[in-house]
């Protein structure tokens, strides 16, 4: 794979993305929503000096953080429990960008001229993947850092320590990029079969269901956040899904298929 | 130089291109004429290394389709059926992107972009987004994109489609310049007038190649050329027939409706001798012109012949080919 070609595709995609304000909004908005809800709750508890016993199932929450006072444990449970939703950003955003990119090219019939150059399909896909994944990774990491610092500032520095835990640092470095990659591949595969970006996103949207299910199960199971073991299993699972998606993707996106069916 | 031998493309059970064989020399413009779904675009896509042939093969400047396809794509410029530009980028950014894909970098890239924006008269619009461009402006940028890397082989699919007459002439003149630079050029077109003006040879195809020849030879439909000579004066045309048949280049001559009809092998070479002989014999010539069918008549005749022959299945086949191949 020649990096100069990947870079050329990346720059073109990036320029395209920057000129699409609606899509940029779609990147920023979920990240802000997922971060602001728990932060708002933490601030609400802090400002109103709520009695933790007013919060339902408090004993169960506090059990997750034995060394912390009840109020801080409740805040800790809220901030860490919501972090599962951060995984929705890498699941949703790259898919929206990738499907918009591929379907946009199909509509404009601009894939054929690109493939008529010395550019190879893997280089085209790599450029598209990086440009679709990067905004989501940057948004997730940015929100993660801000989330840790802001909640620590609002309540107590120990919340920052809880948020920047080992398992979440590992999740940010490994699981987030892996989910991004899977999301892009899924977006590309779905886009190769449909001609409308909204349809592609709706079909691809099913990828968020397992993540939401995990987050909900975690909440009702009384588990504050992922364990390191769960993060590592998640990495393996998503990596396996990426392998599967690469096989399907290479079949769905070979040069001849693109030219005769997509371009 | 392009050599095509038995090139064939099947999409499932549909054969889009049947056993095509032809060649295009350096400095030659070869026209591919045919109705929609005739396989012109599929042929160009195979020759440009975009899709693989089902059978047969071709070499483009010494590189074979298949293992040499990547090299072929590097030395080929292609104007696709649809301009396929990136609307959110400016004209300059579009060209710079493709220049990079063709391996141009830095100052060389900037020079090439500016040069070809100038060639297609789009420099004043270089920094505007393509989204606001008319069809003709898009076509100009797509032409510039095809030529940016100075390709040795050029495929142009309907190059003057959407262009006003002045812009079309600019493009035709430029294609003519490319021929003089020794490039091999294949033009797919429905525009018979353009094909006749530009192409050195024309291949009429409908799935298969029906006829390949120079425009003049095609118009004669494979027969000897007939030249009509109009005369003025007391002597009737029949009195010159004997003089003419004695000329070595004349295949036959007859008086017809007050004119002389003379059969020649190559009118462009032999007409001056014919005129000189007639003048020497006392003929007062008012006009000399070649009697030939128009290219349109030849095209419709050839394509119609195939249509009639394949009548029971032609509709089904054409639809399928268009769906799959175009």
What CA–CA distances, in Å, run from B67 to A51, A74, A96, B72?
74, 65, 36, 10
Residue A10 has pLDDT above 70, yes or no: yes
Residue B315 has pLDDT above 50, yes or no: no
Q: Among all residues of chain A, which has the CA nearest to that of B47?
A: A116
Chain B hits for A4, Cβ within 8 Å: 100, 105
Contacts with A42 (C-beta within 8 Å, 6 or more apart), sequence order: A75, A78, A79, A151, A154, A155, A159
Q: Do A109 and B82 touch (CB under 8 A)?
A: yes
User: What integer pLDDT is reported at residue B256 of this predicted model?
Assistant: 87
- Band (pLDDT 50/70/90 cuts) for residue B199 is very high
Mean pLDDT of B97-101: 95
Q: Do A259 and B45 touch (CB under 8 A)?
A: yes
User: What integer pLDDT is reported at residue B297 of this predicted model?
Assistant: 78
Q: Do B70 and A4 touch (CB under 8 A)?
A: no
User: What integer pLDDT is reported at residue B73 of this predicted model?
Assistant: 93
Chain A hits for B86, Cβ within 8 Å: 12, 16, 108, 110
Say which DSSP state A219 is in: H
Mean pLDDT of B222-249: 85
Query: Could you give the domains of chain B?
Result: 2-218 (3.40.50.300), 223-291 (3.30.70.100)
Tens digits of residue pLDDT in B143-173? 999 999 999 999 999 888 878 888 888 888 8
- Band (pLDDT 50/70/90 cuts) for residue A221 is low
Q: Do B100 and A8 touch (CB under 8 A)?
A: yes
Chain B hits for A111, Cβ within 8 Å: 84
Test mutation, B86, B105, B154, B326, chain A, max A CBs within 10 A: B86
Q: Do A119 and B101 touch (CB under 8 A)?
A: yes
Mean pLDDT of B258-268: 86
Q: Do B86 and A108 touch (CB under 8 A)?
A: yes
Backbone angles phi, psi at B221, to 5 degrees: 55, 35
Helix (H, G, I), strand (E, B) or coil at A126: helix
Residue A200 has pLDDT above 90, yes or no: no
User: What integer pLDDT is reported at residue B102 of this predicted model?
Assistant: 94
User: What integer pLDDT is reported at residue A248 of this predicted model?
Assistant: 84
Burial grade of B317 (CB within 10 A; 0-12, 13-18, 19 or more): middle
Q: Do B85 and A110 touch (CB under 8 A)?
A: yes
Q: Do B100 and A260 touch (CB under 8 A)?
A: no
Backbone angles phi, psi at B54, to 5 degrees: -80, -30
Q: Do B80 and A16 touch (CB under 8 A)?
A: no
Q: What is the ipTM of this complex?
A: 0.79
In angstroms, rounded to a whole number, what is the distance separating the alpha carbons of residues A206 and B117?
Answer: 46
Contact at 8 Å (CB) between A180 and A236? no
pTM: 0.78
Secondary structure of A56-109 as H, E, C letters? CCHHHHHCCCCCCCHHHHHHHHHHHHHHHHHHHHHHHHHHHHHHHHHHHHHHHC
Our CA-based measurement puts residue B302 at a distance from the nearest CA of chain A, in whole angstroms, of 28
Q: Among all residues of chain B, which has the CA nearest to that of A111?
A: B84
**Using beta carbons and an 8 Å cutoff, which residues of A are at the interface with B?**
4-5, 8, 11-12, 15-16, 19-20, 108-120, 255-256, 259-260, 263
**What is the DSSP code string of B257-290?**
TTEEEEEES-HHHHHHHHHHHHHHTT--EEEEEE
Q: Report percent pLDDT > 90 for chain B.
A: 43
Chain B hits for A263, Cβ within 8 Å: 84
Q: Report percent pLDDT > 90 for chain A.
A: 13
Our CA-based measurement puts residue A204 at a distance from the nearest CA of chain B, in whole angstroms, of 25
Residue A24 has pLDDT above 80, yes or no: no
Q: Among all residues of chain B, which has the CA nearest to that of A114?
A: B98
Q: Give which of B80, B102, B93 is closest to B154, Cα–Cα.
A: B80
Torsion of CA B296, B299, B301, B302, to 10 degrees: 170
User: What integer pLDDT is reported at residue A55 of this predicted model?
Assistant: 61
Backbone angles phi, psi at B294, to 5 degrees: -75, 160
What CA–CA distances, in Å, run from B198 to A36, A239, B50, B214, B292?
66, 56, 26, 11, 19
Contact at 8 Å (CB) between B276 and B250? no
Give the mean pLDDT of chain A. Answer: 82
Hey, where are the domains in chain A? 3-262
* Ranges A80-84, B68-72, B296-300, most confident: B68-72
Report the residue from B50, B83, B88 with minimal CB separation from A19.
B88
Say which DSSP state B21 is in: E
Neighbouring-strand partners of residue B231: B285
- Among A56-60, B52-56, B103-107, B209-213, the minimum mean pLDDT is found in A56-60
Tens digits of residue pLDDT in A60-114? 667 777 777 878 888 888 888 888 878 888 888 888 888 878 888 888 888 899 9
User: What integer pLDDT is reported at residue B276 of this predicted model?
Assistant: 92
Tokens representing residue B237 in the block: 């045309």
Q: How many CB atoms lie within 10 A of CB A100?
A: 23
Q: Any idea which residue has 């679709």 for tokens?
A: A132
Contacts with A209 (C-beta within 8 Å, 6 or more apart), sequence order: none
Q: Do A113 and B11 touch (CB under 8 A)?
A: no
Residue A161 has pLDDT above 80, yes or no: yes
Report the residue from B51, B85, B87 with minimal CB separation from A256.
B51
Report the residue from A19, A118, A256 with minimal CB separation from B102.
A118
- Among A90-99, B187-196, B243-252, B293-302, the minimum mean pLDDT is found in B293-302
Mean pLDDT of B289-293: 78
């Amino acid at each position: 794979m020649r990096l100069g070609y990947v870079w050329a595709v990346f720059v073109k995609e990036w320029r395209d993305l920057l000129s699409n304000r609606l899509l940029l909004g779609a990147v920023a908005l979920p990240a802000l929503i997922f971060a602001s809800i728990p932060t708002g709750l933490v601030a609400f508890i802090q400002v109103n000096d709520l009695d933790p016993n007013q919060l339902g199932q408090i004993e169960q929450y506090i059990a997750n953080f034995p060394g912390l006072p009840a109020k801080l444990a409740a805040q800790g449970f809220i901030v860490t429990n919501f972090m599962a939703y951060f995984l929705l950003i890498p699941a949703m955003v790259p898919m929206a960008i990738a499907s918009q990119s591929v379907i946009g090219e199909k509509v404009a019939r601009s894939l054929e001229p690109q493939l008529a150059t010395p550019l190879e399909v893997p280089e085209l896909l790599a450029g598209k993947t990086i440009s679709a994944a990067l905004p989501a990774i940057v948004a997730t990491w940015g929100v993660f850092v801000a989330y840790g610092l802001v909640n620590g500032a609002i309540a107590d520095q120990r919340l920052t320590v809880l948020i920047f835990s080992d398992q979440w640092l590992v999740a940010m470095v490994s699981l987030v990029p892996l989910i991004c990659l899977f999301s892009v591949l899924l977006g590309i595969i779905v886009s190769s079969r449909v001609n409308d970006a909204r349809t592609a996103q709706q079909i691809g949207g099913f990828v968020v269901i397992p993540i939401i299910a995990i987050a909900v199960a975690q909440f009702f199971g009384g588990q504050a956040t992922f364990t390191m073991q769960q993060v590592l299993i998640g990495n393996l699972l998503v990596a396996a899904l990426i392998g599967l998606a690469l096989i399907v993707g290479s079949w769905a996106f070979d040069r001849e298929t693109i030219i005769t069916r997509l371009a | 130089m392009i050599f095509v031998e038995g090139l064939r493309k099947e999409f499932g059970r549909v054969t889009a291109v049947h056993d095509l064989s032809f060649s295009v020399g350096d400095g030659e413009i070869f026209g591919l004429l045919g109705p929609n779904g005739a396989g012109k675009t599929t042929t160009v896509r195979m020759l440009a290394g975009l899709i693989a042939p089902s059978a047969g093969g071709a070499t483009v400047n010494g590189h074979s389709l298949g293992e040499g396809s990547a090299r072929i794509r590097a030395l080929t410029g292609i104007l696709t059926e649809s301009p396929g530009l990136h609307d959110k980028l400016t004209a300059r950014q579009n060209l710079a992107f493709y220049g990079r894909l063709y391996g141009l970098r830095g100052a060389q890239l900037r020079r090439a972009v500016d040069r070809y924006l100038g060639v297609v008269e789009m420099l004043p619009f270089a920094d505007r987004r393509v989204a606001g461009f008319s069809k003709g402006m898009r076509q100009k940028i797509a032409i510039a994109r095809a030529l940016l890397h100075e390709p040795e082989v050029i495929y142009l699919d309907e190059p003057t489609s959407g262009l006003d007459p002045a812009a079309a002439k600019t493009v035709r003149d430029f294609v003519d310049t490319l021929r003089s630079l020794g490039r091999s050029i294949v033009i797919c077109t429905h525009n018979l007038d353009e094909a006749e003006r530009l192409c050195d040879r024309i291949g009429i195809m409908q799935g298969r190649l029906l006829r390949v020849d120079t425009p003049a030879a095609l118009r004669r439909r494979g027969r000897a050329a007939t030249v009509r000579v109009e005369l003025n004066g007391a002597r009737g045309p029949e009195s010159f027939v004997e003089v003419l048949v004695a000329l070595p280049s004349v295949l036959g001559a007859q008086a017809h409706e007050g004119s002389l009809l003379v059969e020649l092998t190559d009118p462009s070479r032999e007409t001056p001798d014919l005129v000189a002989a007639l003048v020497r014999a006392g003929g007062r010539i008012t006009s000399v012109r070649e009697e030939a069918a128009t290219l349109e008549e030849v095209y419709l005749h050839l394509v119609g012949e195939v249509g009639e022959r394949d009548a029971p299945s032609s509709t089904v086949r054409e639809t399928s080919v268009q769906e799959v191949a175009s």
